[in-house]
Amino acid sequence: MLISASLGDKTLFDDLWSFTQSVLDNKGLPNWNLSSAGDISGIGSASDADFDIALGLVMAADKFDSGNPGSPYLGAAMGLINSILM
């Protein structure tokens, strides 16, 4: 997500974000281990990935929504950050 946001590839970013949303746990954080088929094989989150996803969302808000405070990417980043803090 970080690379696609950096490169301005919105389509790839949106695809990655959509997949990430499909593997969120009940706290709103992505499960840490997936099989090659995309099935969850390890529950719980990994903080490094959580931080990278949140930063990617902030970068996407800046890159794709010109830093608009109403950006859905920024809203998702704030939600993820709040989940990390809990």
Domain boundaries, given as residue ranges, for the chain: 2-85
Select the more confidently predicted residue: 75 or 86: 75
**Residue 7, both tokens:** 């490169």
What's the longest Cα–Cα distance across the chain? 37
69's CB contacts (< 8 A; 6+ apart) are none
The pair of structure tokens assigned to 57 is: 């969302």
The pLDDT value recorded for residue 51 is 96
- The pTM of the full predicted model, rounded to 2 decimals, is 0.89
* Cβ-based neighbours of 1, under 8 Å, separated by 6 or more: 13, 16, 17, 20, 52, 53, 56, 57, 60
| 24: β partners | 30
pLDDT in tens, 18-74: 999 999 998 999 988 888 887 888 788 889 999 999 999 999 999 999 878 899 999
pLDDT at 54: 97
